[in-house]
Structure 1
Amino acid sequence: MGSIPTLPGIFSTVIETPRLRMHLLLRGPSDGVPVLLVHGNASSNTFWEETMLALPTGYRAIAPDLRSYGDTEDKPIDASRGCMDWVDDLLGLMDALGYARFHVAGHSLGGSVVWALLASAPERIYTATVIAPGSPFGFGGTKDLQGTPCAPDFAGSGAGIVNPEFARLIAEGYRGSEFQASPRVVMNSFYWKPPFRHPREEALLSGILSEKIGPNRYPGDAVPSPHWPGMAPGKWGPANAISPKYVGDTVQKMLSATAKPPILWVRGSDDQIVGDMSLFNMGTLGKLGVVPGWPGDDAHPPQPMVGQTRYVLELYAANGGSFREEVIPDTGHSPHMEKPDVFDPLFHAHLKSV
Structure 2
Amino acid sequence: MAHRLSRTTRASGPAPHGPSGARTRIPALRGIIAAFGLALAAGGMASPAQADGSVNIYSYRQPYLIQPLLNRFTEETGIETNIVYASKGLGERIKAEGVNSPVDVMLTVDIGRLEGAKTLGFAAPLDNATINANIPENFRDPENRWFGLTGRARVVYASKERVTQNTITYAELADPKWKGRICTRSGQHDYTIGLIASIIAHEGTDKAKAWLSAVKENLARKPTGNDRAQVQAIYSGECDIALGNTYYMGKMLTNDKEPEQETWAKSVKILFPDAEGRGSHVNISGMVLAEHAPNRDNAVRLMEFLTSDEAQGLYAEINFEYPLNPHVAPSELVSSWGKLHPDSLPLIEIAKHRREASELVDEVAFDDGPSS
Q: TM-score band, normalised by the shorter chain?
A: 0.3 to 0.5
Which structure carries more helix by proportion?
A: 2
Structure number with the bigger relative contact order (C-alpha 8 A, sep ≥ 6) is 2
TM-score (norm 2): 0.34
Larger radius of gyration: 2
